[in-house]
Structure 1
Amino acid sequence: MRASAKIFWILGVFFLVVAIAYGIITARYEPLGIETVGFPAMLALAGLAFMIAMALSIAVRRHDLGASEHLDAEVSDDHGVQGSFSPYSWAPLWAAVGGSLCFLGVAAGWWIFAFGIIFAIYGVLSWVLEFSSGQHAH
């Protein structure tokens, strides 16, 4: 996990440098100024790489190192619990349906986008609050 975190930190810096260079070049040579799709997309790509790198770095600090950190480790050395997952949860399905309806709504019609937002909010909230047992539970 430590190597993956380093890779994503490097990717984040690379995408940030490329985005800044792209913004400068398009601002200088485009007749209308900075290109309005590529520059924000590259900034978002850098932000996503930084978020993944941060999450992996935090996970490395919190948990013990797995077998993937040792050069002489075998695949079978990395057995055991990989996380806490809810096997019978419907929340990922509703979140995925909401996301797909949002994308379809952008292409086909904005009224579909509204239904996608409703499904996505329901799916994400139920996924986040899935294991919540209330504020005052003991």
Structure 2
Amino acid sequence: MKVEAWLFGITTVFLVLVTPAYWFITETGDTGADWTGTSALVMTTLLTAMVTLYLGFHAQRMNPRPEDRTDGEIADGAGELGFFPPYSWWPFWCACTLGIIVLALAVTAWWLVVLGSALGVLALSGFIFEYYRGEHAH
């Protein structure tokens, strides 16, 4: 985790240096400052700073991973890494219902929002409970 914290820290420092330079360069133009790009850089800087603080905070409080130790061996990282779900159609149906809701909001068809929300509840329920029944039940 320390390596990741350092990478995000370097990115944060880079963005802290680039953001005022970007604002200054766009300020000297004929049209004035580019507030869209400047605000995007400021928010990106704050986001990378937040991730840096999070990773640095947790890197100090957790035991080092095998890849973080200087004496770590490849065999130290062996074993079960976690549960990785198999194929699933539920994310597709959740995305379709979200697409229906967004389309309904774009064309102001409120009845379609209700239909999309009802289908979304079904799709989300299937997505949440897919490991409680069927072939991959625990």
Please indicate the TM-score interval, normalised by the length of the shorter structure.
0.5 to 0.7
SS at structure 1 position matched to 2:20: helix
* Bigger Rg, which one: 2
CA distance in 1, matches of 2:50, 2:78: 27
CA distance in 1, matches of 2:72, 2:14: 31
CA distance in 2, matches of 1:86, 1:74: 24
Structure 1 unaligned regions, length at least 5: 88-92, 131-138
Q: Structure 1: which 4+ aligned runs deviate by more than 3 Å?
A: 79-83
The residue correspondences of 1:123-134 to structure 2 (distance < 5 A) are none
Structure 2 unaligned regions, length at least 5: 86-90, 108-112, 129-138
Matched, 1:14 2:11: no
Identity of counterpart residues, as a percentage?
24
SS at structure 2 position matched to 1:50: helix
CA distance in 1, matches of 2:54, 2:38: 25
SS at structure 1 position matched to 2:63: coil
CA distance in 2, matches of 1:53, 1:13: 11
CA distance in 2, matches of 1:82, 1:63: 17
Aligned-pair distance for 1:82?
Answer: 6.1
Q: TM-score, normalised by structure 2?
A: 0.56
CA distance in 2, matches of 1:97, 1:16: 36
SS at structure 1 position matched to 2:35: coil
SS at structure 2 position matched to 1:11: helix
What residue is the counterpart of 1:35 in the other structure?
Answer: 34
Aligned-pair distance for 1:26?
Answer: 0.8
CA distance in 2, matches of 1:80, 1:50: 33
Matched, 1:48 2:47: yes
Matched, 1:61 2:63: no
Aligned length in residues: 108
Q: TM-score, normalised by structure 1?
A: 0.56
CA distance in 2, matches of 1:81, 1:63: 19
CA distance in 1, matches of 2:80, 2:52: 22
What residue is the counterpart of 1:26 in the other structure?
Answer: 26
